[in-house]
Amino acid sequence: MRTLCIFGVCFFVVFTSCQREKRDLRPVPTRLAIYSDAARQSPLRPGGAEQPQLRVTNPYNGSAYDIAEGERLYEWYNCSGCHSHGGGGIGPPLIKTDWIYGGEPENLFDTIVKGRPNGMPSWGGRIPEYQIWQIVAFIRSMNGQQPRSATASRADTIEQNPQTIQNRTGGATK
C-alpha cells in the first residue's frame, strides 16, 4: 500500500510539473470587422461629422509563428494564383505602399472577407477568421510592416524595383 501511495505521488508530481507552451489554436473570431464599417476607406461620410472610428487590430501582429502560418495559408488557399508571390499577376501586387482600399490590417481583412469589384472574390465564410488574420500578417510582412525579428527576409526575385537590389557581397553585379 505504501509503494502504491509513493507511486501515486510521483505520478502526480511528474505530470503536473511539465510546463508547455500554450497556443490558442482556435481563437475567438472578430466579428466586428466583417459586419461593421470598422475598416473605413475614406474620411467622407454621409450625414456630416465623422463618428469616432473603432480601431480593429490584428491579434497576430508581430508573431513569427502566425506570419509563417499566414505564408503557408497564402499558398494553400492559392492566393499566389492571382497575386503571384506578392509581385502581382492577374491580381494587383501586394508588395506596395499605396493601396486602393487601404493597407491597414482592418482594410486588408475586409478585402479578403468581403471581396472587391473586378476580380477579388469574397472569402468570408470559407476561410476561418483567425486564418484571415494570419494571412493579413503575412501580407504586411511582405511590405516590411512587421517586426524584422518576426519575419524572414524577402527574396530578391520578388523585389518590386530591380534597381533597388543591393549587392551584399564584394564584387560587381551583372
- What average pLDDT does the segment 137-152 reach? 83
pLDDT at 135 over 90: yes
pLDDT at 58 over 70: yes
Please report the domains of the chain, with CATH numbers, ordered by start residue: 63-151 (1.10.760.10)
pLDDT digits (tens, 9 = 90+) for 96-130: 888 888 888 888 998 999 998 888 999 988 898 89
CB 124 within 8 A of CB 34: yes
DSSP one-letter string for 46-73: TTSSPPPPPPP--TTTT-HHHHHHHHHH
| Higher per-residue confidence, 149 vs 159 | 149
| Higher per-residue confidence, 94 vs 31 | 94
Q: Is the dihedral of CA 30, 24, 147, 140 positive or negative?
A: negative
pLDDT at 156 over 50: no
Q: Which three cell numbers stand for residue 130?
A: 483567425
